[in-house]
Structure 1
Amino acid sequence: MRPHKVDSYLDLLEKTPEYASLFSSARQLHEAQSTFLKFIPEQLTQYCRLGRISDGKLTVLVENGAVASKLKQISPSLLLKLQQRGWEVTSFQILVQAHNSAKNPRPFKKQGHSNKKLKLSSTAKTCLAQLAATMPDSELKNTIQLFVNQHQNDSTDPNSSEQ
């Protein structure tokens, strides 16, 4: 279905009595979400979604504990700003919805990470090999040895003087 056909269909549905209240609620939630996002730090906006307001309690769904913590820190000023805008909110309930990040993974490039393979310097390889040699047999020792072995094949070493 083409987008304009979907829009036409939704416009028609909105006019039917059975769906009018649903579309009205969706519109109000969208407007509330837009307003709410104006009052929180920009770096948090993509990780927060509004829930419902019930008995003066605003539910905010967030993707991780760090975002929840930051929102808790700014909640007094945020609450004041929303009340000044006429919202009948007296408290927040912040719920971490970690499964949202699994459904909507953000590519590393968007988060400022690079796919570039990091290279271990020869000094780091030597130190890790020495560390592994002094350790008793364990899973950690095996992991360090495997890691060093995987990086032995790096032909270019930016920190070494060998060329």
Structure 2
Amino acid sequence: MSRFSTNSRPGTKRVDPRFDPRRPQALADVLDRTDAFRALRAGVEQVASLQRDLNSLLPDYLASNVEPGFIKDGVLALFAAHNALAARLRHLEPRLLADLQQRGWAVESLRIRVRPQSMKEPAPPKQARMSPAGASALQELAQTLAPSPLQEALARMASRHQAGNSEKGQKK
């Protein structure tokens, strides 16, 4: 018997006959199912709306690295990605607070905190492509040079690109 079966727990009924827990569901639908989730949805919508306002009020470099928290007792928590951004945000605090109040947010003060964000994955190293003629010209140059680090580097580069070109030729 499936653990999701309507008969798996006596006395429980499915609220929505279209509900199937094995299928993906819209987050809004899930959050509308119970009162506790409705409160959570309201908080999520508030933070999303606050994020949109911050994105329009802050410069791009700050907006992309600042996350709003919840408003509690008139204090809005803002989380900056690192100390330098937090310091810059503190300089903008009076103007930002006034702008948020003007937009209707019940905020009396800001609490600026640092919450380091995870490092973004670095871009993969570039893979240079060289024509077969270029690779053979490098190989010829390497052969004419006296033994040196430059000659070794050119020979490695030529052999790497000649191997890459021969692999491409075999795939065709």
Length-normalised TM-score, structure 2: 0.54
Q: Which moved more, 1:8-17 or 1:36-45?
A: 8-17
Q: How has the CA–CA distance of structure 1 residues 15 and 57 changed in structure 2, closer, same or farther, with 3 Å as cutoff?
A: same
Change in Cα spacing, 1:6 to 1:27, as seen in structure 2 (3 Å) is farther
* Residues 1:155 and 2:169 are matched in the alignment: no
C-alpha displacement of 1:154: 6.2
Structure 1 partner of 2:88:
70
Q: Mapping of 1:21-32 within 5 angstroms?
A: 21-32=39-50
Tell me the distance in 2 between the aligned counterparts of 1:9 and 1:68.
Answer: 32
SS of corresponding position for 1:6: coil
Structure 1 segment 76-95 matched on structure 2, within 5 A: 76-95=94-113
Report the CA distance between 1:8 and its aligned residue.
3.6
Q: C-alpha offsets along residues 92-112 of structure 1, whole Å, 9 cap, x if unaligned?
A: 1111112xx2xx322445xxx
Specify every segment of 5 or more residues in structure 1 that has no aligned partner in the other structure, as ranges. 117-152, 157-163
- 1 or 2, which has the higher helix percentage? 1
Which of 1 and 2 has higher RCO (CA within 8 Å, sep 6+)?
1
TM-aligned CA distance change 1:46 to 1:18, over 3 Å:
same
User: Structure 1 residues 9, 92: CA separation in 2 closer, same or farther (over 3 Å shift)?
Assistant: closer
| Paired AA for residue 21 in structure 1 | A
Write the distance in 1 (CA, Å) between the matches of 2:49 and 2:102: 16
Gaps of 5+ in 2: 1-22, 127-147, 152-172
Q: Residue 32 of structure 2 aligns to a residue in which SS?
A: helix
Q: Secondary structure at the match of 2:25?
A: helix
Percent identity over paired residues: 28
Q: Secondary structure at the match of 2:78?
A: strand
Report how far residue 48 of structure 1 moved: 0.8
